[in-house]
Amino acid sequence: MFVVENTLLVATDWPNGMITPELAVWAVSIGLDLQTQFRTLCERGITVAYNKAVALALQTKYDYFIFANNDIRPSPTLTQPFLEHDADIVCVECPEPHPAAWSSPSAFHAAMWRASRATLKKIGAPWFVRKYNKQGTKQVRCCCEEFRDKAVRCGFSVGHSGWVDHKTWVRPGSRGD
């Protein structure tokens, strides 16, 4: 479910506090007021940033939340599949380094996603946790997969719908090789 007047968009915008113009344009196109229904959060660590984004959202008066990374570039064709999908937690497919990242219907990655207050409260903190191997020398799962599993254990459905591109950040001075 999605009710535009009761929705807040939270964008994680490390390192430079900026979001793509496409994300702002899309937010306005679905009826969000950027003055009141939009927050940003600049935090370097992804897992901490995602947890902080959810915690920040739950401190507001809104009941529905969209979370997005600052480099996300939604297009108007995203709106319907993303907002009308009926899973409790809906994310958007985006380019992922792992080729099988989206092969399961309940695949979840947190580049852009939405959920309700009730869902996030029931799942409870920490929403995102990173899993390492026994020695702690290698990350074995991304924090999104842990979140998805915790949500499913709490009885929620997780789906993905729509597709977004994201910006490739190029380090100043690098030639990209």
Half-sphere exposure of 56 (CA within 13 A, CB side): 20
Reading the block at residue 11, the tokens are: 């964008």
Query: Is 114 within 8 Å of 63 (Cβ atoms)?
Result: no
Shortest Cβ 68–Zn ion spacing (Å): 14
Nearest one of 6, 10, 23, 14 to 166, comparing CA atoms: 23
Q: 76 or 105: whose CB is closer to Zn ion?
A: 105
Shortest Cβ 144–Zn ion spacing (Å): 3
Restricting to residues 84-143, name those near Zn ion by CB under 5 A.
109, 142
Q: 23 or 144: whose CB is closer to Zn ion?
A: 144
Torsion angle (degrees, nearest 10) of CA 55, 58, 62, 66: 40
Q: 32 or 146: whose CB is closer to Zn ion?
A: 146
Task: Say how many residues touch Zn ion, by CB under 5 A.
Answer: 3
Rounded to whole angstroms, how far apart are CA atoms 2 and 116?
A: 8
Q: 118 or 169: whose CB is closer to Zn ion?
A: 169
Report how many helices (DSSP H) and strands (DSSP E) the chain contains, helices first.
5, 10
Q: 32 or 151: whose CB is closer to Zn ion?
A: 151
Q: Does 144 bind Zn ion (CB under 5 A)?
A: yes
Q: What does the per-residue mask of binding to Zn ion show for 31-70, with x meaning CB under 5 A?
A: ----------------------------------------
**In angstroms, what CA-CA distances link 108 with 38, 92, 102, 113?**
23, 8, 8, 9
What is the total residue count of the chain? 177
Shortest Cβ 31–Zn ion spacing (Å): 28
Shortest Cβ 109–Zn ion spacing (Å): 4
Shortest Cβ 2–Zn ion spacing (Å): 23
Contacts with Zn ion, residue ranges (CB under 5 A): 109, 142, 144
